[in-house]
Amino acid sequence: GGELRTWAGELNPVASPVFVRTPEGLKQKVIGATPLLTSRESLDALAAAVKAYDSGRGVWPSLKVAERIEHVERFLTAMRAQRTAVVNLLMWEIGKTQPDSEKEFDRTVDLIVETIRALKELDRTSSRFVQDQGIMAQIRRAPMGVALCMGPYNYPLNETFSTLFPALLMGNTVVFKPAKFGVLLVRPLLEAFRDCFPPGVINIIYGRGRETVGALMESGQVDLFAFIGTNKGASELKRMHPRPHRLKSVLGLDAKNPAIILEDADLDNAVKECITGTLSFNGQRCTALKLLVVHRNIVDAFLAKFTAAVDKLKPGMPWDPGVAVTPLPEPGKGAYLQGLVDDAVSKGARVVNQTGGQASRSFYSPTVVYPVTKDMRLASEEQFGPVVPVMVFDDDAEAVRLVVESHFGQQLSLFGKDSARIGRFIDAFSNQVGRINLNCQCQRGPDTFPFNGRKDSAEGTLSVADALRVFSIRTLVATKTT
Ligand code: G3H
């Protein structure tokens, strides 16, 4: 906030996953460039955030809750005016379909509105007094300092703002680094950031992770670390902080959400939910279903319906009506996915849908692989792409073991009708994952629900109200009553 710097240093070109025809043939379209900050320059951004916080006495934490809300509401008005520009960039930068890009934008606005509503509620309840054993106390919510917010490329607007705004509304100042892909879409919002917040409250850094965020972590001046991305990235950065006990982290990490499909499942519903669950946004969602575990008695019937539906998914450009299969933004993703498929095939699985296993430029066709067994990479590695591994199981204990033995524990889906049996599964899974979805796909929303996970899939809980608690600390004002 406060100032927009003109950039005189090195620039980093941003290429779209969309190829365009040029005189030299088909080429990835370069759609812009971002500054490439040095570590010194990213530390300048941090210094601005530290100054605006000023040990809790700075301009931003000193504001009343209602005043901070006013700033954010002004920003929301300016943000709404940039909808078309941001939606276009989502399509060009990460290949998200137009309806999904519009949904990401609208959902982000709603999330900020809901966060404001939750903050008003939190403010009301935290001014209450508690009394016990002759002591009366008021529990206040206080900010914690400087938050470093980083989001992933699959939700570059929504996931970043889902931590940035709660952090901000609680009185923290923020440094945020846009995702590697989905970085230009911050540009239409820069003036709104500048005009709606005091200097130093929001600071945006661009560039290579090690030089930029690495330097921030090593400085020891980051108090809150909000990161949605890979376990590897999160642990590397956390390790760089010289006083880890002073760093509060909230992390959304890797996942391998399974769907367990029992013999009495409504097959048409299971197929419908598993199609969007596995393949919406080409499987690039942390909550995507990444392993289908189907009872042996129905696996042939399920696969017949499922593969027929997969083969009907339409490839095209993100703005083409009715498309489901779009270009993948990560360079080399097709080769990586093919490596997973080849590994499974070399160990006895097959590609079972007609259109599977086709790579062309930044496209990789939805590919169903069956039968996947535990020794294959596809059984345990998060593919984060349009490859759907299908496993078969015979008895319930086997399905339970699969979930218990997994390193991940974000969510799972369970398809079936026998309520007693479903109840036993729920009991077995309640301490394994953050959410059990019955007869429906895994998903984060609604954003007012807690979003978390177990094992290697998360640290802390996000959602509208939870995020406000995560980004603040309770301070008691206590006195004796007797
Ligand atoms: O990539 C992780 C997202 O939080 C998934 O959100 O389930 O709404 O697609 P979603």
Q: Half-sphere exposure of 136 toward its Cβ, with a 13 Å CA cutoff?
A: 6
Of 285, 451, 461, 466, best ligand 1 pocket probe by most atoms within 8 Å of the beta carbon: 285
CA 267 to CA 306: how far, in whole Å? 9
Q: Quote the pLDDT of residue 4.
A: 81
What residues form DSSP beta bridges with 249? 225
444 lines ligand 1 (CB under 6 A): yes
In angstroms, how far is CA 305 from the centroid of its own chain?
30
Q: CB of 287 closer than 6 A to ligand 1?
A: yes
Neighbouring-strand partners of residue 27: 20
Q: State the DSSP string of 180-214.
A: SSS-GGGGGGHHHHHHHS-TTSEEE--S-TTTTHH
| CA-proximal residue: ligand 1, atom 4 (nearest) | 444
Of the residues 159, 437, 441, which should be mutated to test ligand 1's pocket, given the most ligand atoms within 8 Å of the CB? Answer: 159
CA distances from 44 to 58, 175, 176 (A): 17, 11, 13
Q: What is the reported pLDDT for 1?
A: 57
Q: Give the neighbor-by-neighbor strand order of the sheet with 146-150.
A: 202-204, 173-177, 146-150, 224-228, 248-252, 458-459
Instruction: Report d(CA 56, CA 99) in Å as an integer.
Output: 42
CA distance 254 to 86: 27
Atom of ligand 1 lying closest to residue 281 CA: 9
State whether the beta carbon of 290 lies less than 6 angstroms from ligand 1.
Answer: no
| DSSP H or E stretch at residue 415 | strand 411-415
ipTM over 0.90: yes
Phi and psi based region of residue 120 (left: phi greater than 0; alpha: psi -120 to 50; beta: remaining) = alpha
Q: Give the pLDDT of residue 463.
A: 87
Q: What is the pLDDT along the chain (482 residues), one digit of tens a residue?
A: 567 877 778 899 999 999 999 998 999 999 999 999 999 999 999 999 999 999 999 999 999 999 999 999 999 999 999 999 999 999 999 999 999 999 999 999 999 999 999 999 998 887 788 999 999 999 889 999 999 999 999 999 999 999 999 999 999 999 999 999 999 999 999 999 999 999 999 999 999 988 899 999 999 999 999 999 999 999 999 999 999 999 999 999 999 999 999 999 999 999 999 999 999 999 999 999 999 999 999 999 999 999 999 999 999 999 999 999 999 999 999 999 999 999 999 999 999 999 999 999 999 999 999 999 999 999 999 999 999 999 999 999 999 999 999 999 999 999 999 999 999 999 999 999 999 999 999 999 999 999 999 999 999 998 898 999 999 999 999 999 98
- Residue whose C-alpha is closest to residue 401's, from 440, 428, 373: 428
Q: How many helices (H) and strands (E) does the chain have?
A: 15, 22
Mapped onto helix, strand or coil, the DSSP state of residue 31 is: strand
- For residue 443, report the distance from its CA to the centre of ligand 1, in Å: 6
- The Å distance, Cα 285 to ligand 1 centre, comes to 5
Task: Identify the CA nearest to 371 among candidates 305, 303, 311.
Answer: 303
Indicate which residue's Cα is closest to atom 2 of ligand 1. Answer: 286
Q: Which residue has a Cα nearest atom 6 of ligand 1?
A: 444
Q: What is residue 338's three-state secondary structure? A: helix
Q: Which pTM does this prediction carry?
A: 0.96
Which ligand 1 atom minimizes the distance to the CA of 280? 9
Integer Cα distance of 169 and 148 in angstroms: 14
Q: How far apart are CA 477 and CA 482, in angstroms?
A: 16
**Sheet bearing 473-480, strands edge to edge:** 129-132, 135-142, 473-480
Decide: 445 in ligand 1 pocket, CB within 6 A: yes
- 268, containing H or E segment: helix 267-279
Work out which ligand 1 atom sits closest to the CA atom of 442. Answer: 7
Q: Is 155 in the pocket of ligand 1 (CB under 6 A)?
A: yes
Contact 115, 69 (CB under 8 A): no
Helix (H) or strand (E) holding 391: strand 387-393
For residue 61, give the DSSP letter. Answer: T
Residue carrying structure tokens 């700075």:
58
